């Protein structure tokens, strides 16, 4: 693959909960397929947050995030907040997240999800880092909280974008960017595809969200960063651009959002 085609996986889970063989072979396959950097999401608990940070310390093309996923909001307490605040200040931690609201699964009570979401938006402000937002079936509340917490001051990304154009406009108005995952390649994803065609060159990223939701033609397999190319190629086709253009735009956008820690080479 040509150098200008290198892609950044702006959102992947790499911990041993998903990849029993460890992250190394997964990263090796992705590098082979043209992925030049990885934003490794450290959520699920303190163990996973520490894992992401350790991987980022060890691998020069990996950076980490730490946060409390809305699924786990009920597990949040003062001790976890203190530990995550310390980790979030680390040099290789580029964002706080993923945080947000998930009313599809409702693994934690909605009021708890909202309160914890606000806490971690405030934490991001403290450590002066952007946020990675997870939102599912909770569009209105997510936007309301981002607005009322002045999230534009920290900025961030709506990861695994699966909302409509109206949501996209409001997110961009807040200074956020949108990240497209394998979902954009699915047949019933017309609304998301419309947004991918519409979004301006400086406001989108691509991601795998491994190990979930592998893009077509890998659908049904365990997703991994090596599959990012399929999503990027699909987005390029939607936008009437070359893969190289999409790679270049998304790389610039990732660097602007996550900072120079992502620069490899
Ligand atoms: Zn998510
Ligand atoms: Zn995720």
Task: Give residue 264's pLDDT.
Answer: 66
Q: How far apart are CA 205 and CA 232, in angstroms?
A: 9
Residue 2, pLDDT score: 43
Cα–ligand 2 centroid distance for 12 (angstroms):
6
Distance 134 CA to ligand 2 centre (A): 7
CA distance 64 to 53: 6
**pLDDT at position 262:** 81
Residue 1's pLDDT is 42
pLDDT at 263: 72
| Helical ranges in 174-210 per DSSP H | 190-198
Distance 97 CA to ligand 2 centre (A): 9
145-203 tens-digit pLDDT: 999 999 999 999 999 999 999 999 999 999 999 999 999 999 999 999 999 999 999 99
Say how many Å lie between the CA of residue 82 and the centre of ligand 1: 23
Report which bound ligand comes closest to the CA of 133.
1
106 CA to centre of ligand 1 in angstroms: 13
Cα 11 to averaged position of ligand 2 atoms, centre (Å)? 6
Q: Which residues of the chain have pLDDT under 50?
A: 1-3
Ligand nearest to the CA of 70: 1
d(CA 119, CA 4): 39
19, 211 in Cβ contact below 8 A?
Answer: yes
Q: Rounded to 5 degrees, what are φ and ψ at 170?
A: -70, -40
pLDDT in tens, 116-127: 999 999 999 999
| pTM for this entry | 0.97
Classify each residue of 145-170 as buried b or exposed e, where b means 16 or more C-beta atoms within 10 Å of its C-beta: bbeebebeebbbbbbbbbbeeebbeb
């Amino acid at each position: 693959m040509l150098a200008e085609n290198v892609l950044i996986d702006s959102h992947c889970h790499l911990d041993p909960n998903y990849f029993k063989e460890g992250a190394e072979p997964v990263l090796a396959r992705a590098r082979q397929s043209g992925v030049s950097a990885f934003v490794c999401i450290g959520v699920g608990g303190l163990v996973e947050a520490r894992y992401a940070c350790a991987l980022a310390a060890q691998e020069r093309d990996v950076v980490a995030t730490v946060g409390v996923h809305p699924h786990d909001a009920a597990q949040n307490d003062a001790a976890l907040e203190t530990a995550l605040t310390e980790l979030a200040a680390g040099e290789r931690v580029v964002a706080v997240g993923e945080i947000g609201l998930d009313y599809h699964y409702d693994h934690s009570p909605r009021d708890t999800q909202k309160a914890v979401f606000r806490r971690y938006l405030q934490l991001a402000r403290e450590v002066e880092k952007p946020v990675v937002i997870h939102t599912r079936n909770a569009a209105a509340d997510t936007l309301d909280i981002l607005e009322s917490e002045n999230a534009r001051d920290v900025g961030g990304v709506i990861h695994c974008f699966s909302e409509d154009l109206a949501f996209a406009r409001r997110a961009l108005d807040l200074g956020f960017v949108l990240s497209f995952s394998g979902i954009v390649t699915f047949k019933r994803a017309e609304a998301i595809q419309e947004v991918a065609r519409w979004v301006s060159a400086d406001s989108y990223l691509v991601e795998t969200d491994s190990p979930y939701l592998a893009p077509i033609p890998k659908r049904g397999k365990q997703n991994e960063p090596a599959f990012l190319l399929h999503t990027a190629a699909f987005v390029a086709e939607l936008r009437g651009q070359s893969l190289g253009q999409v790679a270049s735009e998304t790389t610039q956008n990732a660097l602007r959002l996550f900072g120079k820690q992502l620069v490899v080479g």
